[in-house]
């Protein structure tokens, strides 16, 4: 995708047929002709929801696989009019029951320059995300309507939304993290019991197609180059992220260390009385949440905030490995939840109890005074930089599918921490160039790869050899850090499989040598 905006950079939000659709009970859903693109988790939920509403639905997906055929059969049973499974079907806008469509609901993986979406835009059709659809149907007679706490960012989204969910639950609320993580938001809003609060992790893809949501509190955690191939430019990527602030009711939470997040707040059209609240890992100014002497404190959500602060939690509440970016995530989660009236005690309890998950600064083992840390979730340079900043002497396992990003700034900032680099991935050329320019004295090793960086497609085998190589290079006091700064799909199914391969390889290394492991995986 070129840097020029595509015809659907500013998608149409509504027409006369869709403008007044704002609750589950609106009669306008019945008979509405809708094309749903994509048969993944969000697409399936959208088609299922629309069929339940009485819309006439056609689903399009380019993959005619056994899994998709099974999903298609299920959707036909619940009332979906048709499911088209072929690459050809994605190249034009289909009719719905022989008539032109009224609306397209698209899955986040579909790029704005995809032919079907371009045809929909040219026809003047609204194009919605599953998030937009969920907002339009969230109100339903006989069921509570949840408030929404929404966040996005280049990195830290899943950790932060998990923290938000845990804090809300510690405050006694029925809450759920959903959206781009875990449960699809449409399944959450259809839950028979309903929720008090939904914590939504939103991707830039989802926000691009989202128009009218009104979060109680919202946040952009950080912004760095990512998904430029999808959005067309860094400016369009940032604009999509900034849409999370639109129509926010109580607090727009931004990162004091990232000026662009504050700029996005200033550009947003918010509700009357909404405040800008910063978060920081340093001492907080008035109207910030920050850290003083290892204690997370609030100077935003109290009456005498010019002269007082409320203690929320201690750094130790965040677990045995709490690098700076984890503390920043906790500060953001605290600000988002304090904005909706959560008590200070609930913040502390939630941060102590939240599920830290795997593959995010995960301590796998410590043996012979060498730490082995899995951060497979670090799929871009910004995330990897946060990991590298947490340690002083590193054998770095890095590389994978680069997604068009550059590595010069990352390597230049952290070259002084690197004892050695062990390359992963089928094409490490961009990372090699950055290392050669900015860290010329750091040894670079590429097990199971040729001189051009083309590695074996067998990811687990590459990982096992990379771990053995890292062991030979590591010295007491070092951290062997697997923070790839790249996506995983060149050699693995997902970042989770890549992380598991690292964990398995470290365990095999320990067993092979009969070494004692001072800290068990997940400690």
- Write out pLDDT tens, residues 20-45: 999 999 999 999 999 999 999 999 99
The answer to whether residues 502 and 408 belong to one domain is yes
* Angle in degrees, CA 478, 489, 237, rounded to 5: 90
Nearest to 351 by CA among 338, 376, 333, 377: 333
Which of 353, 387, 412 corresponds to the end of one domain? 353
The answer to whether residues 76 and 161 belong to one domain is no
Residue 42 tokens, joined: 């969000």
- How many domains is the chain partitioned into structurally? 3
- Is 500 part of a structural domain of the chain? yes
In terms of phi and psi (left: phi > 0; alpha: psi -120 to 50; beta: otherwise), the region of 397 is: beta
Of the given ranges (221-235, 258-272, 323-337, 435-449), which has the lowest mean pLDDT? 221-235
- Is 3 part of a structural domain of the chain? no
> Please, are residues 170 and 353 in contact by the beta-carbon 8 Å criterion?
yes
The answer to whether residues 211 and 274 belong to one domain is yes
Residue 59: its pLDDT value, please?
Answer: 98
CATH value at residue 123: 3.40.50.720
- Is 310 part of a structural domain of the chain? yes
Given a cut of 70, whether residue 521 has pLDDT beyond it is no
Q: Binding site for ATP: what residues are annotated?
A: 153-159
pTM: predicted TM-score of the whole model, two decimal places: 0.75
- Count of other CB atoms within 10 angstroms of residue 172: 11
The answer to whether residues 384 and 492 belong to one domain is yes
Residue 225: its pLDDT value, please?
Answer: 64
Gap between the Cα atoms of 459 and 500, Å rounded: 11
- Is 88 part of a structural domain of the chain? yes
Q: Binding site: what residues are annotated?
A: 153-159
- Is 17 part of a structural domain of the chain? no
> Please, are residues 161 and 169 in contact by the beta-carbon 8 Å criterion?
no
The answer to whether residues 376 and 465 belong to one domain is yes
Cα–Cα separations (whole angstroms), residue 36 to 27, 92, 189, 231, 288: 20, 13, 19, 21, 42
Which of 105, 128, 151 corresponds to the end of one domain? 128
Given a cut of 50, whether residue 441 has pLDDT beyond it is yes
Nearest to 34 by CA among 52, 43, 21, 47: 47
**Residue 329: which domain range?**
140-353
Going by the DSSP 8-state scheme, the letter that residue 262 receives in this structure is: H
The answer to whether residues 348 and 381 belong to one domain is no
Average pLDDT over residues 114-118: 94
- Is 419 part of a structural domain of the chain? yes
The answer to whether residues 334 and 375 belong to one domain is no
- Write out pLDDT tens, residues 348-383: 999 998 877 666 778 888 888 899 999 998 999 988
Which of 323, 353, 383 corresponds to the end of one domain? 353
The answer to whether residues 196 and 308 belong to one domain is yes
Of the given ranges (195-204, 235-244, 456-465), which has the lowest mean pLDDT? 456-465
The residue to which tokens 């959903």 are assigned: 178
Give the pairing type, strands 370-374 and 362-367.
antiparallel
Residue 507: its pLDDT value, please?
Answer: 92
The answer to whether residues 54 and 150 belong to one domain is no
- Write out pLDDT tens, residues 55-79: 999 999 999 999 999 999 999 999 9
The answer to whether residues 170 and 255 belong to one domain is yes
Residue 2: its pLDDT value, please?
Answer: 40
Helix axes 66-77, 41-53, angle to 10 degrees: 10
Of the given ranges (16-20, 90-94, 169-173, 400-404), which has the lowest mean pLDDT? 400-404
> Please, are residues 345 and 313 in contact by the beta-carbon 8 Å criterion?
no
The answer to whether residues 108 and 157 belong to one domain is no
- Count of other CB atoms within 10 angstroms of residue 123: 12
CATH value at residue 202: 3.40.1190.10
- Is 325 part of a structural domain of the chain? yes
The answer to whether residues 45 and 148 belong to one domain is no
- Is 335 part of a structural domain of the chain? yes
Nearest to 489 by CA among 413, 429, 402: 402
């Amino acid at each position: 995708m070129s840097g020029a905006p595509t015809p659907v950079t500013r998608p149409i939000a509504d027409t006369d047929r869709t403008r007044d659709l704002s609750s589950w009970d609106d009669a306008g859903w019945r008979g509405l002709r809708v094309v749903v693109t994509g048969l993944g988790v969000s697409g399936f939920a959208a088609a299922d929801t629309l069929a339940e509403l009485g819309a006439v639905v056609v689903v399009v997906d380019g993959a005619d696989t056994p899994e998709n055929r099974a999903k298609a059969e299920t959707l036909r049973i619940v009332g979906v009019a048709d499911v088209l499974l072929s690459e050809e079907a994605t190249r034009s806008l289909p009719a719905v029951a022989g008539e032109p469509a009224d609306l397209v609901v698209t899955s986040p993986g579909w790029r704005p320059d995809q032919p079907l979406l371009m045809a929909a835009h040219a026809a003047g059709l609204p194009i919605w995300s599953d998030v937009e659809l969920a907002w339009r149907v969230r109100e339903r007679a006989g069921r509570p309507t949840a408030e929404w706490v929404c966040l996005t960012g280049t990195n830290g989204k899943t950790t932060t939304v998990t923290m938000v969910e845990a804090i809300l639950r510690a405050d006694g609320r029925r809450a759920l993290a959903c959206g781009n993580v875990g449960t699809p938001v449409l399944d959450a809003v259809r839950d028979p019991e309903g929720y008090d609060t939904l914590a939504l992790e939103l991707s830039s893809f989802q926000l691009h197609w989202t128009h009218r949501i009104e979060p109680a509190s919202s946040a952009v955690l950080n912004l760095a180059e990512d998904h430029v191939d999808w959005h067309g430019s860094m400016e369009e990527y940032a604009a999509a992220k900034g849409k999370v602030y639109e129509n926010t009711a109580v607090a727009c939470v931004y990162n004091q260390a990232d000026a662009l997040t504050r700029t996005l707040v200033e550009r947003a059209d918010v509700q009357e009385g909404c405040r800008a609240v910063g978060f920081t890992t340093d001492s907080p100014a008035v109207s910030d949440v920050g850290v003083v002497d290892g204690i997370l404190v609030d100077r935003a959500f109290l009456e005498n905030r010019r002269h007082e602060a409320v203690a929320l939690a201690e750094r130790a509440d965040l677990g045995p490995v709490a690098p700076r970016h984890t503390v920043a995530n906790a500060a953001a989660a605290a600000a988002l939840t304090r904005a909706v009236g959560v008590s200070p005690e609930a913040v502390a309890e939630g941060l102590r109890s939240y599920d830290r998950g795997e593959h995010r600064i995960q301590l796998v083992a410590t043996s012979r005074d060498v730490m082995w840390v899995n951060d497979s979730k670090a799929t871009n340079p910004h995330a990897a930089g946060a990991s590298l900043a947490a340690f002083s002497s590193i054998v770095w396992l890095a590389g994978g599918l680069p997604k068009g990003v550059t590595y010069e700034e990352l390597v230049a900032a952290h070259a002084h921490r690197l004892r050695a680099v062990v390359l992963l991935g089928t094409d490490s050329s961009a990372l090699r160039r950055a290392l050669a320019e900015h860290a010329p004295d750091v040894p670079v090793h590429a097990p199971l790869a040729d001189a051009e960086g083309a590695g074996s497609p067998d990811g687990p085998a590459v990982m096992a050899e990379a771990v053995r190589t890292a062991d030979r290079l590591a010295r007491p006091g070092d951290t062997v850090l697997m923070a790839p700064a790249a996506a995983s799909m060149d050699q693995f199914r997902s970042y989770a499989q890549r992380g598991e391969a690292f964990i398995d390889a470290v365990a095999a290394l320990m067993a092979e040598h009969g070494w004692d492991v001072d800290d068990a995986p997940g400690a």
